[in-house]
Chains A and B, each alone.
Chain A
């Protein structure tokens, strides 16, 4: 049976928050020995957050969010990290801050990554969130609080809304930097 396709970022997303701490590195998100033995994103998804909970992919519902502390995605350059999260059903990652390469990779593969300093104090495990990808705003439905994410350059935002670099290229027949929009 083919699994359902991952969530394509539309403007408004609704889901439940899974809360993690600081310095969640890419070895935690998907260990090397699993990510290096497949090119299938659904196979990668089986190991999402394996370093903390090997059953994480079974517990989450499609469209849920990860909320984390500082330096989410540190360490390796593995694009399999955001891919595993996306194909496990995670619709967006919201963190106090992101490690550089993970952040790039998330936009590249079309996984919304929202940087919000202070988010840890505003969301608890299980909170229902509404994430507006078009405006980069998170609404906590429990507290009714609206929280703005740090803005990103326009070309990165466009990349995200079009579903990542592959989708962007397929649609536009060029990369963002070919059109002088970067």
Chain B
């Protein structure tokens, strides 16, 4: 049973917009001079400037709708709470513990830390999830537009794909939210990105965001909010929730504090199909639309038709190359998975490429779904059988290989092409190993050839 019984606590999640009176909220929401981040933090602010418009650079104190920690950050949060001698949580229904990184426990040290988390969850009746990656669980069951979601995990920003103000912080600050319900946040400057055109066959959202990170640099959006827009309705529909989740998640690799897609039809449809506690137009937070005359520090336009399959690495996510430039680089391991790219659309395209083919004899291929829900869907659609027939390994949902903790760590000087989030030195294992990031399609094509390969030839 992957999800603990007390998951029903999610049903108690309430509206994101709690602060100030309705009038000032409406004024702020209508204000055309404010960005998404300025609106989201202004309407939630309970700090000294409560009820006023906040601008980039101001500091807000907000009620936090969801405060998450996972198995590599949760134990430290629990320790900090104990050191502060706090034994009562402000609101357990807003506290989420996820055991995902080294799940199931790879050794006794990890097992002991997992046990500590389970004990804490039972003691405090908070949410406990095991065996789905936190960001995907939050997307599938909890996130709502306008919510303030903070997590002790940098990729918490993924929930921006449904228009939540979601970002990562550290363990002790998460503990402080568990205790007080609140946290301070600086209102970030915002960058407006508008997408036009159509991605070529064999080119995916991951290629787009890798290309973007290459242009921005590793810290190009540090402290900043990314707001994603579409030039027309056709482009909008092309960017499904899975691809938006990939973009919001990977935005961390250029330092973004949040990376949001303003609430739209695609998000509404996703929320309708994946019901949660409350989706109501009465919720003022749903109406957070960035102002037409908002103050952006940069505006970027991207023609998707110019994007090629990209490969980033080694060592830095902004070290991007087109797949042609890397073509032929021999690999030891091909990894499809992680919160960045292990969703059903990712597993679908990789299965399409691997169907009826074999993983190269010098290469091992590991496929890891992002969540239990994705895992089940992959079984239902027959993808798991395709992977097994191709000679790949299909694992449980975990962050394992991405962080080199289990289920796919790299040895000395090994090379891995991976759809995971990061390629830092030693990220997946030995300090001399190298990680190259790409879309799941490029990973699958590379797995077949035993070297970096262009997926476009496999997709007709």
Contact = CB atoms under 8 A, between A and B. Distances in A.
Contacts of A180: 47-48
Contacts of A165: 80, 172-173, 176
Contacts, number: 147
Contacts of A35: 72
Contacts of B79: 39
A78 interface: yes
Q: What class of interface size applies to chain B in its complex with A?
A: 35 or more
A31 to B, nearest CB: 5
A51 B218 contact: no
B154 A76 contact: yes
B219 interface: yes
A146 interface: no
A93 B218 CA distance: 20
A36 B72 CA distance: 5
B109 A38 contact: yes
B426 A177 contact: no
Contacts of A166: 80, 83-84, 172
Interface string B150-178: 01111010000000000011111100100
A100 B170 contact: no
A57 interface: no
Contacts of A76: 153-154
Contact of B405 (A36, A78, A83, A155): A36
Nearest to A33: B405
Contact of A28 (B61, B183, B404, B424): B424
Interface residues of A, number: 46
A13 interface: no
A38 to B, nearest CB: 7
B109 A23 contact: no
Contact of A175 (B72, B176, B218): B176
B427 interface: yes
A70 B424 contact: no
Contacts of B80: 165-166
B71 interface: yes
Minimum-distance CB pairs A-B, first 7? A79-B170, A71-B219, A36-B72, A105-B170, A27-B424, A32-B403, A37-B109
30 contacts: A23-B219, A27-B422, A28-B425, A32-B427, A33-B409, A36-B71, A37-B113, A38-B109, A39-B75, A39-B76, A51-B431, A52-B425, A74-B222, A76-B153, A77-B152, A79-B73, A79-B152, A79-B172, A99-B255, A100-B223, A101-B169, A108-B170, A153-B59, A165-B173, A166-B84, A169-B84, A170-B84, A175-B179, A176-B184, A180-B48
